[in-house]
Chains A and B, each alone.
Chain A
Amino acid sequence: MSSEQPRQQIYDSTAPSTDTRDSRIGEGADDRFNSKLREAFGSTPFILTKFDKFMNWVRGNSMFMLQFGIACCSIEMMHTYAIKHDLDRFGAGVPRASPRQADVMIVPGTIVSKFGPRMKRVYDQMPEPKFVVGMGSCTISGGPFQEGYNVVKGAEEIIPIDIHVPGCPPRPEALVYGIAKLQERIRNGESTPVVVKPYELEEFGDLPKDELVQKLADDIDEDDLVMRYNWADSP
């Protein structure tokens, strides 16, 4: 039989594909291939969806985390990756050592003045779209070290953060919950608005004016410096 033309029964039949399978390997042999989804689709192994929607779903279900240990919280983060809590169950448990391969950065600890610029650099190296989970009180406000002369009062002074997980340190369960929430948001196509820093606005003004720069500049809300740029509608 030529494989260029689909077989007639595929055109005609809307019955679950169990028939063909059963005739091949015997009835009731193995239920594994016969997922509910497959049943629902009938013989057509195709799903029709919007590409954006599909991409969001994919992003949320396969997140590569940056292997990024800073302070106390990184111990609980390691426990979250390891057995018992096993973050990989939720499709988010592959720690990548290089920021260029990572989608999500968990910031697990206190940011101090010397480390702040380095963290920004690591964040800048991550490919878009990127997401950040702030783990622990230190990334919210500086936590117990807030009054220190050397402590940055929250990671949000330096990079935008999508989800804050409070605690000192948060339990692994809390981190799992935070990441599940992040996945939920990603699946829904939400992300934190990018906030432009005043100096960045200045640098932006130095760029040669063309159509793209103009469009981006129009997207910046001058009151709160939030960038209303939506990558899904990008030209």
Chain B
Amino acid sequence: MSTGLERQPAVEVTEDELEAIVGDRALARDDHLNAPGFVIRPDDVQDVLKDLRDEAGFDHLANLTAQEYPDRYESIYHLRKYADPTQEVSVVVPTTTDEPVSQTAEPVFRTADWHEREAFDLVGIDYEGHPDPRRILLPETWQGHPLSRDYDQEKPQLVTLTEHANPIQPDHHDDESDTMFLNIGPHHPATHGVLHIETVLDGETVVDVDPDIGYLHRCEEQMCQQGTYRHQIMPYPDRWDYVSAGLLNEWAYARVAEDLADIDVPEYAQVIRTMGAELSRIASHMLALATFALDVYGDFTAIFQYGMRDREVVQDILEDLTGQRLMFNYFRLGGVAWDLPEPREEFIEKTRDFLDGLPAKVDEYNDLLTANEIFQIRTHDTGILEPEVAKQYGCTGPVARGSGIDYDLRRDDPYGYYDNLEWDVVTEDGCDNYSRVLVRMQEVEESAKIIEQCLDLLEDWPEDERTVQSNVPRTLKPDADTEIYRAVEGAKGELGIYIRADGTDKPGRFKIRSPCFHNLSALPEMAEGEYIPDMIASLGSLDIVLGEVDR
């Protein structure tokens, strides 16, 4: 499908040119393993980011990492290009410990809004000029900033629930206007977990939406900072995006740690990883479809159950491969835990059977969903997300591709075995809920193609070259002050990890860039001005997982 937004080859910006753009504003250089880094003053943030965006084309604020050193606070803006994500630059903004105030980047990149709220919440940096400086993940009453150095975890915290004071409010009407305030969630079937959406309604039209997150903030970053690189971190990624997308998440950690510690992965293991990851993607997209139908139709009987049926098959295959249904913990640094299950032919045949049956199932979904008139009326031209807006919010994955943004890290920033396989990146230019569903449906077919090719490779792989793991030292201690940001294409989009090594066997800072976090932050753009059922549909089409939003 022609998108009108065909991929333009990105102009390569050399380091000299970058230095010229940043100019005198660069106090020092602080290069990361993945990108050149510039240290700037806290009041130059907007200027520098604006110049880098407009003159050098860095239009994607992939991540914002905040951390505290003994002598300073630091915010790192990781910039990339949608047109070519291998071009990266880091902007490092140190502030003093006495007065951690830094200029906000929100006017340049909308997505900095939520990121800076998170940085304030967890680390304690203030962003001057921020439009909405509230806590985002922790309750309003929380004392202290848990990822700062002097935080005392043993101190009890008091969390109140104001709604308890007056459980039956007499009237939800606003006195002055004609609008009505409505709480959706945190316990609500359409929020896909524990999301709280504060909605203001004018009649049936949504006037204002404020997603309130943090109901599943399980301190994933702290957990990873407490674990050793070699084995203790790997189980956690499974629990970020827990919709069977475990292998994709594990790959995010495997990729960043392997690049950090310079570990090779045998090619055979890469093929297994690629196959496993795509199976995970199919399972994840199946659930997205199933729950989307549940949201739009309230259909618990047909499509939801069909989706679950197909997921069961995928989960069976993954269980054969990894030994677990949901939390696989199958990747190791330098490879995978073990080879394909024996007898190998049986496993390959079982997977092939599933792939052979898939086209018929996809037809079934098309009959039930995408070709269905009711479904089309419900989803066409609702939840519009323009590509420029999507880029401002840092949307990636099927959400961005449904808005015609041709961005897929599997192709653009290749890893694993994707480079050697035949497959296509799916984009749709409808920008609406329907397009996002279509993208997922077609990605299932593309994933099937990838798995098919991997199976062929695995079947014919020479017997004596089936190495599943390379030699990795028992204790990994990357050099102190090595910093790296790496991302993979998760089920929901760009899943990135920033690690700063501090010379020990545990990361000094472990920051997760979650695609759902960005995608969800774009919800107000999609929902405001629409009917409330369309907002629910938009939320479903974003396919968020709260474990990954809140981390």
Q: How far is the CA of A76 from the CA of B160 in the complex (A)?
A: 31
Contact code string A26-66 (vs B, CB < 8 Å = 1, else 0): 00000000000000000000000000000000000000000
Give the nearest-CB partner of B154 in chain A: A149
A113 in contact with B139 (CB, 8 Å): yes
In the complex with contacts A71-B242, A79-B308, A84-B309, A114-B326 CB distance below 8 A: no
Given contact pairs A83-B308, A97-B189, A115 touches B151 in the complex (Cβ within 8 A): no
Mask: chain B, 175-189; 1 = CB below 8 Å from A; 0 = not: 000000000001111
B153 touches A149 (CB 8 A): yes
Query: Is B226 touching A147 in the complex (CB atoms < 8 A)?
Result: yes
**Please, which residues of chain A bring their CB within 8 A of the CB of B192?**
69
* Closest A residue by C-beta to B306: A83
Find B243's partner among A75, A109, A151 (CB 8 Å cutoff): A75
Q: Does B210 contact A (CB under 8 A)?
A: no
| Pairwise interchain contact A117-B161, C-beta atoms closer than 8 A | yes
* CB-defined contacts of B509 to chain A, threshold 8 Å: none
Main secondary structure of the interface of B (DSSP, over half): loop
Is A145 part of the binding interface, using a Cβ–Cβ cutoff of 8 Å? Answer: yes
List, in ascending order, chain B residues with CB within 8 A of A109's CB: 216
Give bound CA distance, A99 to B142, whole Å.
28
A139 contacts the other chain (CB 8 A): no
- B219 in contact (CB, < 8 A): yes
Known: A82-B305, A114-B138, A117-B159. A75 touches B193 (CB 8 A): no
Q: How far is the CB of B231 from chain A (nearest CB, A)?
A: 13
CB within 8 Å for A147 and B157 given contacts A67-B189, A71-B547: no
The yes or no answer to A183 lying at the interface (CB within 8 A) is: no
Cβ of B312 within 8 Å of any chain A Cβ, yes or no, is yes
- A75→B223 contact, CB < 8 A: no
Q: Report B153-183 residues with CB < 8 Å from chain A CB.
A: 153, 157, 159-161, 163-164, 167
Binary CB contact string for chain A from 97 to 117 against chain B (1 if under 8 A, 0 otherwise): 101000000000110111111
A112:B216 contact, CB within 8 angstroms? yes
B residues near A95, Cβ cutoff 8 Å: 300
- CB pair B218–A148 under 8 Å, yes or no, is yes
Q: A144: which B residues are within 8 A, CB to CB?
A: 223, 235-236, 239
Q: Which residues of B contact A148 (CB under 8 A)?
A: 218-219, 222-223
Residue of A nearest to B304 (CB): A82
Known: A117-B160, A118-B161. A78 touches B308 (CB 8 A): yes
B159 & A70 in contact (Cβ 8 Å cutoff): no
A75 / chain B contacts, CB cutoff of 8 Å: 242-244, 287, 326
Q: In the complex where A70-B194, A114-B138, A122-B187 touch, is A150 in contact with B218 (Cβ < 8 A)?
A: yes
Contacts of B218 in A (CB 8 A): 71, 110, 112, 145, 148, 150-151
- Of residues 70 to 106 in B, which have CB atoms within 8 Å of A's CB atoms? none
Given the known A-B contacts A71-B547, A76-B325, are A116 and B159 also in contact in the complex, defined by CB atoms under 8 Å?
Answer: yes
Q: Which residue of A lies closest to B219 (CB)?
A: A148
Q: Verify if A134 is at the interface (C-beta below 8 Å from B).
A: no
Is the Cβ of A150 less than 8 Å from the Cβ of B217? yes
Q: Is A72 an interface residue (CB 8 A)?
A: yes
Q: Answer yes or no: B215 CB below 8 A from chain A CBs.
A: yes
Q: Please indicate the chain A residues that have their CB under 8 angstroms from the CB of B325 in the complex.
A: 76, 171
Which residues of the other chain, A, contact B226 by a CB distance below 8 angstroms?
A: 147
- A119, A120, A168: the one contacting B327 at CB < 8 Å is A168
Q: Is B214 among interface residues, defined by CB-CB distance under 8 A?
A: yes
Q: A68's contact among B187, B236, B305, by CB below 8 Å, is which?
A: B187
Q: Is A154 an interface residue (CB 8 A)?
A: no
- A110 closest partner in B (C-beta): B218
Residue of A nearest to B216 (CB): A71
CB nearest neighbor in A for B313: A84
A-side contacts of B369, CB under 8 Å? none
Q: Are B242 and A83 in contact (CB under 8 A)?
A: no
A26 to B8 CA separation, bound complex (whole angstroms)? 81
Least CB separation from A172: chain B residue: B325
A151–B217 CA distance with the chains assembled, in angstroms: 8
Q: Is B242 within 8 A of A72, CB to CB?
A: yes
Given A113-B142, A118-B187; 19 other pairs, CB 8 A cutoff: A69-B194, A71-B242, A71-B547, A82-B304, A99-B187, A110-B218, A113-B157, A115-B215, A115-B216, A117-B161, A118-B161, A118-B186, A144-B239, A145-B223, A147-B219, A147-B226, A148-B218, A169-B326, A171-B325
- Residues of chain B whose beta carbon lies under 8 Å from any beta carbon of chain A: 137-139, 142, 146, 151, 153, 157, 159-161, 163-164, 167, 186-189, 192-194, 214-220, 222-223, 226, 235-236, 239, 242-244, 287, 300, 304-305, 308-309, 311-312, 315, 325-327, 546-547
The 6 A-B residue pairs with the shortest CB-CB distance in the complex, in nearest-first order: A148-B219, A82-B308, A117-B161, A72-B242, A115-B215, A145-B218
A–B Cβ pairs within 8 angstroms, 18 of them: A67-B189, A69-B192, A71-B547, A72-B239, A72-B326, A76-B326, A83-B305, A84-B309, A109-B216, A110-B218, A116-B159, A118-B186, A118-B194, A119-B187, A120-B161, A144-B236, A145-B218, A149-B222
